[in-house]
Amino acid sequence: MDYITPKEVADNMMTTAIYKSQLRITDLLIRGALSGALLAISVTLALMATTQTSLSLMGAFVFPVGFVIIIILGLELVTGSFALVPLAYMEKHISGLKMLENLFWVFVGNLIGSLLFAVLFWAASTESGQLKEIGIIEQAMVSIAEKKTTGYASHGAPGLFSAFVKAILCNWMVCMGVIMSMTSKSTLGKILAAGIPIFIFFALGYEHAVVNMFVIPAGMMFGAKVTVSDWWLYNQFIVTAGNIVGGLLFTGMAIYYTHTSKEHRLSSK
């Protein structure tokens, strides 16, 4: 049968976590960079769909394409790893240092890929700075970059806490997509299972660390009144922390520990 039961999925979660932790740094960087670029492309596509149709749901409908490519090709997305790799540490399969090294290098890879596509998109859209007027998609990026940084900061602590909560809710769904992709053996089944939660997070406008690695610096390149410190202090650090909570606590731990017994976990060591 194509369907994989939740109990089997829980075992696959740990197997995947251990596998990810054993990847070489070069693999983490390459797969991470590809994932960052693919999500950046998806954001651009989603903004095009939204601006052309004036329907935000249309953007949410097309956004998951990048995520499902990441899943199908076995690439590395740090927000998805937040739900899996720490489980291997918690069950004493890997050291704390190995866990941190893995997450760090995937984060760096995602950042490299996101920034690379931002630069390429800027070069293509402005003919490397020769065109002064920007299009509607680029204008949307400017607005989003300001809203996601100084927009939160303008409301003080409540605004920044809102970003943190939105990040929790976001990666709750993103990691649900990662785990749901394990419920099917077929490519089509994985696409459908992984794509549904991603549609939800994007439609609701939540905060995703890797998406923001692209959309905020891209907005800055097109003229957003945002500094590098604004980007990191008012969004990136806060959203990354929220993504960790949402991915690990609300998804990874919740699914894994409810579908495995203590005896089973001890026997698998």
**pLDDT over threshold 70, residue 235:** yes
| Domain range summary for the chain, segments of one domain joined by + | 6-126+135-267
**pLDDT tens track for 25-43:** 999 999 999 999 999 999 9
> Within 10 Å of residue 157's Cβ, how many Cβ atoms?
9
The CA–CA distances, whole Å, from 19 to 1, 81, 193, 210 equal 25, 11, 22, 22
Of the pLDDT bands very low, low, confident and very high (cuts 50, 70, 90), residue 132 is confident
| pLDDT score, position 1 | 64
**Mean pLDDT, residues 66-76 taken together:** 98
Q: Where do we find the tokens 């017994």?
A: 261
**Mean pLDDT, residues 235-255 taken together:** 98
Burial class (CB in 10 A: 0-12, 13-18, 19+), 56: middle
For all residues of the chain together, what is the average pLDDT? 97
**pLDDT over threshold 70, residue 159:** yes
Q: Are 111 and 213 in contact (CB under 8 A)?
A: yes
**Mean pLDDT, residues 63-68 taken together:** 98
More confident residue, 263 or 207: 207
| pLDDT score, position 15 | 97
Closest CA to 208 of 68, 47, 36, 56: 36
Of the pLDDT bands very low, low, confident and very high (cuts 50, 70, 90), residue 51 is very high
CATH no. for 6-126+135-267? 1.20.1080.10
